[in-house]
Structure 1
Amino acid sequence: MSRREAREELFKLVFEAEVNETPIETVVEDYMGREELKVNENGKTFITTYAKGLGENQDEVMAVLNNNIEGWSFERIGNIEKALLKISTYEILFQDTPAEIVINEAVELAKKYGDEKSYEFINGVLAKVVAKKN
Structure 2
Amino acid sequence: MSKTPERSDNPSREELGVFRRGRARALQALYAWDLRSNEDLAQVAVRVWDDLAVSAEERKFANHLMRKVISDMKKLDAEISELSTNWRIERIGVIERSVLRLGAAELSQGGTPPKVAIQEAVRLAERFGSARSARFVNGILDAFARQIGAI
TM-score (norm 2): 0.78
Q: Which amino acid aligns with 1:42?
A: E
Kindly, what percent of the aligned residue pairs are identical? 23
TM-score (norm 1): 0.87
Equivalence for 1:69: 84
Asked whether the 8 Å contact 1:25–1:55 carries over to 2, the reply is no
> For structure 1, which runs of at least 5 residues remain unmatched after alignment?
none
Asked whether the 8 Å contact 2:103–2:121 carries over to 1, the reply is yes
- In structure 1, what is the Cα distance between the partners aligned to 2:61 and 2:113? 16
| Equivalent residues, number | 132
Q: Bigger CA drift: 13-22 or 117-126? A: 13-22
Equivalence for 1:19: 35
> For structure 2, which runs of at least 5 residues remain unmatched after alignment?
1-16
18, 38, 46: which one pairs with 1:2?
A: 18
79, 93, 110: which one pairs with 2:108?
A: 93
Q: C-alpha deviations, 1:14-42, integer Å up to 9, x for none?
A: 1111122244334225456x3x5522221
Asked whether the 8 Å contact 1:13–1:24 carries over to 2, the reply is yes
- CA apart distance, 1:75: 0.9
Asked whether the 8 Å contact 1:23–1:55 carries over to 2, the reply is no
- In structure 1, what is the Cα distance between the partners aligned to 2:40 and 2:137? 23
Q: Bigger CA drift: 36-45 or 61-70? A: 36-45
Q: Is residue 40 from structure 1 mapped to residue 55 from structure 2 by the alignment?
A: yes
Q: Bigger CA drift: 123-132 or 53-62? A: 53-62
31, 46, 58: which one pairs with 2:73?
A: 58
Equivalence for 1:28: 45
- In structure 1, what is the Cα distance between the partners aligned to 2:94 and 2:40? 14
Equivalence for 2:143: 128
Q: C-alpha deviations, 1:72-127, integer Å up to 9, x for none?
A: 11111111101100100111112410111111111111112213311110000001
Please state which structure has a larger fraction of its residues in helix.
1
The CA RMSD over aligned residues, in Å, is 1.8
